[in-house]
Amino acid sequence: MSGTFLGTPAFPAAARAALEDSQLRRNLAHATSTIRTKRGNVVGEVDDWEQLRLAGEAIKNRVLRHLPDYLEQLERSLTAAGATVHWARDAAEANAVVVDIARRHGTDEVVKVKSMATQEIDLNSALEAAGIHAWETDLAELIVQLGDDLPSHILVPAIHRNRAEIREIFLREMGRAGRAAPADLTDEPARLAAAAREHLREKFLRAKVAVSGANFAVAETGTLTVVESEGNGRMCLTLPEVLVSVVGIEKVLPTFQDLDVMLQLLPRSSTGERMNPYTSTWTGVTPGDGPQEVHVVLLDNGRTDVLADPTGRQALRCIRCSACLNVCPVYERTGGHAYGSVYPGPIGAILTPQLRGVGTDPQTDSLPYASSLCGACFEVCPVRIDIPEVLVHLRAEVVDAHRKASRVPSVQDVAMKAASWTLSSAARTGAAERVAGIGGKLAGRLGRTAPGGRSILGAVPGPASAWSDSRDVPVPAAESFREWWTRTDGGRSRSDNTDGGRSRSDNTDGGRRNGDGA
């Protein structure tokens, strides 16, 4: 992958550009609906799915509560099994470790298993800068790399490409990076997969060093796990002499029993399968079998900052299944590039701002607003991350950060302070309601009627125009609740008049108070 997310505009501008790409929207709608259907079918087969989700949530919460202890246990287990453990505080330290290992073995290329952690630290660019080629071996990652593109989905990085586009990329680019695609290549999935297999096979057999991530790391045994669907991971994890695994510190699990729960949750939530075609586990070095030199880089890169936030830390429960992306109405229409991060969609909207920090970059600050807060992401999350809760929490952090950084209050700040001053006094609130009622009567003559009979205004000029461009602004009620309560005695009497009911009042108890109901 040679592209970069640097320079991506804030989400509203990037989303607007994405929405103009009808081919992109068709590709996304087809792919996400297919995965949603598959997930729904296999999840429906599990009677105790909700209990399984609760178990997954509890395991990850226990890990986060005792993360230092489990990480130290993982280090001891890995070391005892013959692996070398490296600690990396940030991307620069992690990249330096991998580059140094590759250089020490005199290689100018490495093969890679699909890994979000290595994408997060932009390892490929660091390797390229050191004169080392990094070959992606996952089919979708290969498409992205050959196309000089960027990933747009956690699980399916080339979800924005259709088969015809992939065929063109293979024909144009494969020969420049190694074995060329056959000239008679068609867009049949089997032919495309065969071309990728032939292209990658020589790299698997030639590479001395492989780089992977890990879906899970079991502390009690030092066992790393990678789940995948194509077999490229198994090739990378077994053929090269040296294996380097870059693992986020939140990936640790206490026991193998906990891994059992996660291996039931992950494939159903990600690819809509009962189990992944390939589940590879390895524990350090096994003499005569597989890589004889194993390194594990435990990566922080902002995770401890996330852990310090009582509300935001639940994002560290994520197992990268991408189920939240596939149900998100915003993601389905904009795709992943609009998020400007290797973590797109709802989980990216809460994870990226926490890893990067808010208040300094407009693009990052825009991400918590890239959601309708519909809650579909929480409903499908296998570890029950309440993404809407974290989104609202982060929006408040963005507002606070900008308020502290700016000497001049924004229009929103002024409006909120005015609302706070008004609503903190019953007298001021009543006065404001009366003014709004008068304004409502006047505005009602200028507005229009929405479906259902509600009076609404059109576009509002001035600072509120951005808000009213995409929303109906209701005409203020001519009568406030207080006035209605006073007029109707709390609803015990009812008026049919719209003039405030001052001209006539009906008794709703059928006149029984007067004794004439008999």
Q: What is the CATH number of the domain that holds 230?
A: 3.40.50.10420
Long-range CB pairs of 97-100 (<8 Å, 24+ gap) are 97/244, 97/295, 97/297, 98/123, 98/126, 98/127, 98/211, 98/244, 98/246, 98/297, 99/126, 99/127, 99/130, 99/132
- Provide the number of structural domains found in the chain: 2
The rounded distance, in Å, linking the Cα atoms of 367 and 369 is 5
Whether 389 is covered by a domain: the verdict is no
Q: Quick check: helix, strand or coil at residue 212?
A: strand
Whether 73 is covered by a domain: the verdict is yes
Judge whether 237 and 294 are in contact, CB under 8 Å: no
> What are 335-376's pLDDT values in tens digits?
999 999 999 999 999 999 999 999 999 999 999 999 999 999
Tokens of 367: 């991400």
Q: Is residue 294 domain-shared with residue 155, that is, in the same domain?
A: yes
Choose one of 306, 338, 354: the last residue of a domain: 306
Instruction: Name the residue range of residue 448's domain.
Output: 433-491
Tokens of 259: 């891994």
Choose one of 306, 337, 362: the last residue of a domain: 306
The rounded distance, in Å, linking the Cα atoms of 76 and 323 is 34
Q: Encode the chain (518 residues) as per-residue pLDDT tens digits.
A: 445 677 789 999 999 999 999 988 888 999 999 999 999 999 999 999 999 999 999 999 999 999 999 999 999 999 999 999 999 999 999 999 999 999 999 999 999 998 999 999 999 999 999 999 999 999 999 999 999 999 999 988 998 889 999 999 999 999 999 999 999 999 999 999 999 999 999 999 999 999 999 999 999 999 999 999 999 999 999 999 999 999 999 999 999 999 999 999 999 999 999 999 999 999 999 999 999 999 999 999 999 999 999 999 999 999 999 999 999 999 999 999 999 999 999 999 999 999 999 999 999 999 999 999 999 999 999 999 999 999 999 999 999 998 888 878 877 788 888 999 999 999 999 999 989 888 888 877 777 787 777 788 777 777 777 777 777 888 888 888 888 998 999 888 865 554 444 444 444 443 344 333 33
> What are 94-143's pLDDT values in tens digits?
999 999 999 999 999 999 998 999 999 999 999 999 999 999 999 999 99
Whether 268 is covered by a domain: the verdict is yes
> What are 459-504's pLDDT values in tens digits?
777 777 777 777 788 888 888 888 899 899 988 886 555 444 444 4
Q: Is residue 133 domain-shared with residue 268, that is, in the same domain?
A: yes
Choose one of 306, 334, 357: the last residue of a domain: 306
Q: Is residue 290 domain-shared with residue 437, that is, in the same domain?
A: no
Whether 290 is covered by a domain: the verdict is yes
Give the rounded distance of the alpha carbon of 336 from its chain centre: 9
Mean of the per-residue pLDDT values of the chain: 91
Whether 514 is covered by a domain: the verdict is no
